[in-house]
Each structure stands twice: as structure tokens, then as C-alpha cells.
Amino acid sequence: MSGPDDSESVKKKKNKRKLPRGRVTVFPNWCKGCGLCVEFCPTKVLEKQGNGGSVIVAHPEKCTACRWCELHCPDFAIFVVDIEPGEETA
């Protein structure tokens, strides 16, 4: 029996599935700071600023475009768009 073929392992790494990515925008004038989006975000992209403050995008690189924040925002203050692999998240 021979060991795993090096070329096989290289192919697997190249074919590794990339996770979806998203860009989150929070409209501070619409946000009342309820924090529902922060609670529902599975990857903790969002953070609340102080007591009753609006929400900020603290970790944009963690967004998987699941849209849980967008779907649960009662004020429609959050917008999520899909981004392509390699596209900047600025």
C-alpha cells in the first residue's frame, strides 16, 4: 500500500469549498438600538454601541450572508449583499 498521493491532497485543497460571504450595512438613522440583529447573528458580526446605542458592523470579515440580522430587524435598518470570493469588504 502506498501513502496518499501528494497531488491528490493538493487537488483537495484547491477544490475546498469556500463559504458564502456578505457585506452588511447598518443605517444608523433607522436603527433604534433594540439589539435583535446582534442576538440573531450566528457569527457575531454586529455589536451594540453602549446602552441604547445603534449597532455597528464590528467584524465584517465574519459575515456569511445568512441574512438573519436583516430578516429580524423590525426597522429595516440592515441590508446584506452577497460578495464574490476575493472581493473587498470595505
- Span 62-83, average pLDDT: 96
Q: Cβ distance 16 to 53 under 8 Å?
A: no
- Establish how many alpha carbons lie within 13 A of residue 20's alpha carbon, considering only the half-sphere containing its beta carbon: 9
Whole-model pTM: value is 0.71
| Most distant CA atoms of the chain, gap in Å | 66
Q: Which residue ranges make up each domain of the chain?
A: 20-83
List, for residues 19-70, the tens digit of each pLDDT value: 789 999 999 999 999 999 999 999 999 999 988 788 999 999 999 999 999 9
DSSP 8-state symbol, 12: H
List, for residues 41-53, the tens digit of each pLDDT value: 999 999 999 887 8
CATH of domain 20-83: 3.30.70.20
